[in-house]
Structure 1
């Protein structure tokens, strides 16, 4: 059973094109999924932003290597970036077109195809070794991620900087079906949101919720997607007060606010002000209520999130930095890890 919200958003996305990842609108998925796929209503209002910037790379296949060079288009310049991840030995052969790691001949052909993409200004290449060095530098503060990823897990990649006005979708279309390519994706520019100030977002159960934490029941299709067979219940006023008291009593909490549906809707409209189709498809009642929490520097976020997730009336409690790490892993390095491996929560 899909919600009316999901149906309206699907229609809006047909008009809005690639502004929002349509994958987020599939039937509700388990939390352990690609790019932290939670109920879209939570993602939208939480402003679960994708980290900007492209992979740090070295030389071209046809040029000199060894010189580290960071590629990062300035969003103010109007330039966009697209990353082309190549097939690796670790690529899933059942869920991708990869039949093994891309060979040298395939890489040369991919480079030739990449250079012909309309609107490309610069192209940079990173092999597994370089990607792994950059990965360990970028995630030096996340021991869980460092332990979960080996050099073999990282695909080679080409990063394309597009000229101002160039459409990233043309790059995806031009490279579709090229042998040896795992995926082609745009690097989404960072967008500052009201959520940036807060370390933890606590989303409350909405009426007819599809989240198991709100009492919903879901049936798996065996391929990672779920259909809601029984809707959950919305948070009660008494539960909201209990959650508020719990947050106020927690060591490590510096500041907390409550965000109503109306406030969430206004934030949503500011964030997507240029996407009329999406705005027209969304109502105040689609927005969740939430608490936003700022932590003290030495606070144990894992214990705080774990305790909040068990509280009645809480749909999701998420650590904002974890969401950024998940997105950065996929955008910069082509690696998809479940939240439990990126940010293990204290049990």
Structure 2
């Protein structure tokens, strides 16, 4: 059963179409990440679902109850049974952690709220309950903000890039803790992010947005391995785009021949991920190492193939060939084919 259904939602700001016919659904207990670049409409979508702003047209249905119809709100934000966590947690500096978590709850709800359990759920020590926000790290503050949202026992938690201000290691740990807590409560979650790694590692389903539209929805592996458009391919991770020609169901390119189905004969663009390309002494394709990006645990080689076509190849950090070195490569798996960009 769906906890959220968004149907044909539109929203414009002057000439800018922030939401352009968005359709989206979240199942009970599901974590869905809305992934896209800045300005694509992610936050507008989240704020419209929350009830902070109206739409122009379309519907939002929460728990089988229409809360927005024809772009107009039918149910106030406080009655929508959603929790909301903004980018900067927004804790009250004059209240301790416990008071922040129970803020906004009525007296019976405050009595029932188990502050210690909520903190433990988010991998925080219950002793933090009496501390002030300024005594907490950035990651701890964000977890307290999530605890406050979960204290209302929402059916849907809305997360507006809540980890973007944290450094990399803290961001990963906080993200994992928040998703575990959400799953433990049985709530569903909508996570807005521009971080591809965050979306792919934390969500059950990824919805990619571009220019106000949802351009692909699917499991993380599906979106990464089988991108529906060139934009999805390039935004959700890196890759190489190479010219190819299809003849008799085979795409011929500088890195080899690939069988394709459902594609008419003619010129196309071929897309492969860096991890599909491997150094192979027996490989049929010769390349030159033009440079590399070193990340420690691995590296991404920039290879020059044929008539100066760039091919990306991921290798172990201790297996990086020198710049200018000649290597041979082969490609594993299928390539994705798109219509030739004009």
Fold conserved between structures, TM > 0.5: no
Higher share of residues assigned helix: 1
Q: TM-score range by the shorter chain?
A: under 0.3
Higher share of residues assigned strand: 2
Which protein, 1 or 2, shows the higher relative CO under an 8 Å CA cutoff with sep ≥ 6? 1
Whichever of the two has the greater Rg, that structure is: 2
